């Protein structure tokens, strides 16, 4: 069974610090990886995707992928109160579907 694991949190980070969110997955052959942000009661919105080993940066966000360790992470630099949300990791296992983790709730403390 294809699985995606995340720590449910809550993860509390001071404003201005770096927030680090982690995700592990079960299939070494996984092809692409997504981070979605979801505010309470709202729909998920894509903030990053990555498919090659290494880092991918977009503004304050960096996604890091290590396929050998089956590990993908999201770093948020200069954390802002507006970053407080649940972050969902999703993995494309090549079976025409995305599999989502249960999400990590992040709280930025002013």
Q: Which of 28, 43, 68, 82 binds other proteins (CB under 8 A)?
A: 43
Binding-residue total with other proteins (CB under 8 A): 22
What's the min distance (Å) between Cβ of 104 and other proteins? 11
**Which of 43, 47, 42 has the alpha carbon at shortest distance from 61?**
47
Distance between CA atoms of residues 42 and 28, nearest Å: 32
Binding residues for other proteins (CB under 8 A): 8, 31-32, 34, 41-46, 49, 51, 88, 90, 92, 96-98, 100-103
């Amino acid at each position: 069974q294809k699985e995606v694991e995340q720590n449910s949190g809550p993860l509390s980070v001071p404003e201005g610090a770096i927030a680090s969110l982690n995700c592990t997955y079960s299939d070494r052959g996984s092809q692409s990886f997504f981070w979605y942000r979801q505010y309470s009661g709202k729909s998920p919105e894509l903030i990053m995707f990555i498919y090659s080993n290494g880092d991918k940066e977009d503004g304050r966000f960096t996604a890091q992928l290590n396929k050998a360790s089956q590990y993908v992470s999201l770093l948020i630099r200069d954390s802002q109160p507006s970053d407080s949300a649940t972050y969902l990791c999703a993995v494309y296992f090549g079976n025409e579907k995305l599999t989502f983790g249960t999400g990590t709730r992040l709280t930025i403390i002013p």
